[in-house]
Amino acid sequence: MNDTAELKENYRRAYGNRIGFGTRPALIMIDFVQAYFDPECELYAGVEDALSSALRIREVARANKVPVIYTNVTYQHDGLDGGRFFQKAKPLRNFVSGNPMGNWPDGLEVGAEELVISKQYPSAFFGTSLASTLTTWGIDTLIHTGLSTSGCVRATCVDCSSYGFIPIIAREGVGDRHSAPHEANLFDMDAKYGDVESEGTIVDYLSKIGASK
């Protein structure tokens, strides 16, 4: 048995459970900002395919009246509100207010009635109103797309589970700058915190949600 097969078998014995989809979903698009798409930026990650997948999922979500939420990262001058995260991760200087690297990339336009949550830390839940908002809306399932898989997506997924919502991670709709942390974190999220599902499975689910309304 090779190392990959042995790892999967080891985890399957302990963590093979599936949560499944709930009945009231929302879609979150985590930190799809220009920095990750500009080859001149140190944060460039070559994640255009993840954005394309997320936009296809968003199209179906919108068509079926499923709420869409966006996050970005923004800091005051010199990262005054960034704490240890800003101190540790130097590329976060690209997200100081006014830097164009924090803008939405071409092809991503936020709808007038769609929610944008600005954050200073990896998780979309930490220090924000996201949990209260989802509760108020009656949401039980949060579909994750965004960047990066090993950073803000994972952090959001863990907090999503901790707050009692079902984390669904769109495999093709999340991305990272390297395949190793990307795959490792998809594996770990799927094992312990939520369900990693394909774009096609998520689209089918959203379509059925719309049909049942």
Q: Which of 162, 45, 143 is nearest to 94 (CA)?
A: 45
Rounded to two decimals, the pTM is 0.94
What CATH number does the domain containing 198 carry?
3.40.50.850
Tokens 């915190």, residue?
193
The pLDDT value given to residue 212: 73
Q: How far is CA 30 from the centre of its chain?
A: 4
Residue 5 lies in a domain: no
Residue span of the structural domain in which 56 resides: 24-73+104-211
Segment 158-175 mean pLDDT:
98
Residue 99 lies in a domain: no
In whole angstroms, give the CA distance from residue 60 to residue 96: 33
66-114 residue pLDDT tens? 999 999 999 999 999 999 999 999 999 999 999 999 999 999 999 999 9
| Mean residue pLDDT across the chain | 95
7: amino acid identity, one letter: L
Is the pLDDT at 13 greater than 70? The verdict is no
Number of domains in the chain: 1
Residue 41 appears among annotated catalytic residues: no
Residue 98 lies in a domain: no
The secondary element (H helix, E strand) that includes residue 160 is: helix 154-162
Do residues 51 and 37 lie in contact, with contact meaning Cβ atoms separated by under 8 Å? yes
Residue 171 lies in a domain: yes
Q: Which of 41, 152, 157, 160 is catalytic?
A: 152
